[in-house]
Amino acid sequence: MNNDKQLKNWLNNFNLNHPLVIAGPCSAETEEQVLTIAHQLKDTDTSVMRAGIWKPRTRPGNFEGVGAIGLEWLKRAKEETGLKIATEVANKTHVELALKADVDVLWIGARSTVSPFIVQEIADALKGTDKIVLVKNPVNPDLALWLGAVERFYTADIKNLGVIHRGFSTYEKIKYRNNPEWQIAVDLQSRFPDLPLIVDPSHIAGDRNLVFDICQTALDLNYDGLMVETHHTPDKAWSDAAQQITPAFLDQMTVDLKIRNREG
């Protein structure tokens, strides 16, 4: 498997002296909401704005995303703030629309990583792209599925690849929405040491009060970045309200987090 030193290049291109920060709402809701959040994030350490437009809800009957119109809102957020933009893609059509809208970062959700058919379809649609592609861990604690997805993207010649650790579901009631099982991400990192590793504290936590400590643990483990759900009025969010923080909270959090000295 190709595992050369080039792999962290895309991260180095951001030229940061701190971990990469990806922030933004769980879901794009309205154009006004996307632009309000983008402008509030502009003056933080955030480099990339995230927003889901096709939402993979576990049960039907919940808000399932605004769809392709959200790409227009993200494009406008990028034009107005200079932030790069990121969204989740879960099939070939999503990939085609996101590439057409010049989305900078495409991520594969936890419910897609479990399916080799879906992963392969997305990898084929992205073949050879220079976009940044981030692969979330599968919902279940299965390292092989996560590795398999990464391998499918390498095989499709996706060079600007990274992984997102968002925790693993359990039937047991625990303090977290998704059990971090840090060892699984550490094992993945040991096999692909040059693959940027980003924590998603929001989906691990399920509760905004736990977000800071999860970020600190990840940074202590030398993670390369954070993807944090951030909303201007978190309690009114249309999805994942309990875990979202405000841009102001995010800004303070990046000051308070003890960030280790990083090489290069």
Residues forming contacts to Mn ion in the complex (CB under 5 A) are: 26, 240
**Beta carbon of residue 27, minimum distance to Mn ion (angstroms, whole number):** 7
Residue type, 196: P
**Beta carbon of residue 237, minimum distance to Mn ion (angstroms, whole number):** 9
Q: Which parts of this chain interact with ligand PEP (CB under 6 A)?
A: 26, 52, 56, 109-111, 136, 166, 203
Q: How far apart are CA 79 and CA 56, in angstroms?
A: 27
- Our CB check for ligand PEP shows the closer of 56 and 141 to be 56
- Our CB check for ligand PEP shows the closer of 76 and 111 to be 111
Query: Which among Mn ion, ligand PEP, none contacts residue 65 (Cβ within 5 to 8 A by kind)?
Result: none
CB burial readout 67-93, b (16+ within 10 A) else e: eeebbebbeebbeebebbbbbbbbeee
Q: How far apart are CA 154 and CA 139, in angstroms?
A: 21
Q: Which of 210, 209, 214, 179 is nearest to 198 (CA)?
A: 214
**Beta carbon of residue 23, minimum distance to ligand PEP (angstroms, whole number):** 12
**Beta carbon of residue 205, minimum distance to ligand PEP (angstroms, whole number):** 12
Asked if 213 contacts 204 with a C-beta cutoff of 8 angstroms, the reply is no
- Our CB check for ligand PEP shows the closer of 52 and 180 to be 52
Q: How many helices (H) and strands (E) does the chain have?
A: 11, 8
- Our CB check for ligand PEP shows the closer of 12 and 62 to be 62
